[in-house]
Amino acid sequence: MFIDSHAHLDDERFDLDRQNVIKDLKSNQVDLVINIGADIESSISTVKLAEDYENIYASVGVHPHSVSELIGVGLNEIENLAKRKKVVAIGEIGLDYYYENSPKDIQKEYFIEQIRLAKKLDLPIVIHSREAVKDTLDIIKSEKSSNLRGVMHCFSSSVEIAKEYIKLGFYIAIGGVVTFKNARVTKEVAQFIPLENLLIETDCPYLAPEPFRGKRNEPKYIKYTAEEIAKIKEIDLEEIAYSTSANAKKLFGIATGDAND
């Protein structure tokens, strides 16, 4: 069984069949899903989803695209949500200089503030970083503490950068991009990452793997990512499933059997 460590099942693209998608998780070998908030509104809907379904857990936070909404508002709403029982992380948070929907200085400010909130609440962080390799790593290093831990979501940097995060005790999450024929760097990273630092994710409804590229992604497609990584690493698929599931439960503090409580 797999754990999808990063999904957006609250997205409007699931409005017509969300219940069926979630109901069919077990039959599609998906044990648990970590659903990720990207702004205050989606963090609220993510928590509700987690509270409605036993096999969904929530992460709450504000994506760099949306951090401008925190100006004058602050993180009180996110902090209150983060204290709910099924919330297991702060995220997704980070920096995105590709689109720069929010000014860089505002992105940095609230990235740091949300990291500090995670440390205060002793929760892991889920990091989004695009075209901001140096600043993201510099901030993580400067904010490093004994309880700062997390995952680099949809990792797209080099093996060298992956090594830096692994030294810091972070996990590296690989998604459907690894199945793309031209994803040379992602395949190199997948080959390099030690099993004890690896997570798998869909980022659904985005980034569907081959052979569904360009269509709506779903948690059930996690197996295609796992199969590609197993092929790259030349190990059994069951080993990928076991290791990544154990890693996700460890990072997010989910006890074995919680989904069946």
- pLDDT mean by block of 10 residues, the chain; 261 residues: 97 97 97 98 98 98 96 96 98 94 96 98 98 98 97 96 98 98 97 98 98 97 98 98 98 75 37
Q: How many domains does the chain have?
A: 1
What was the pLDDT predicted at 102? Answer: 92
pLDDT value at position 258? Answer: 57
Domain, as residue range, for 25: 2-260
Predicted pLDDT of residue 158? 97
Find the CATH number of the domain harbouring 24: 3.20.20.140
The secondary structure element, H or E, covering residue 56 is: strand 56-60
What is the pLDDT at residue 257?
A: 60
Sheet with 2-7, edge to edge strand ranges: 2-7, 30-36, 56-60, 87-96, 125-130, 150-152, 171-174, 198-200
pTM of the predicted protein model: 0.96
Length of the chain measured in residues: 261
- Other C-beta atoms lying within 10 Å of the C-beta of residue 258: 15
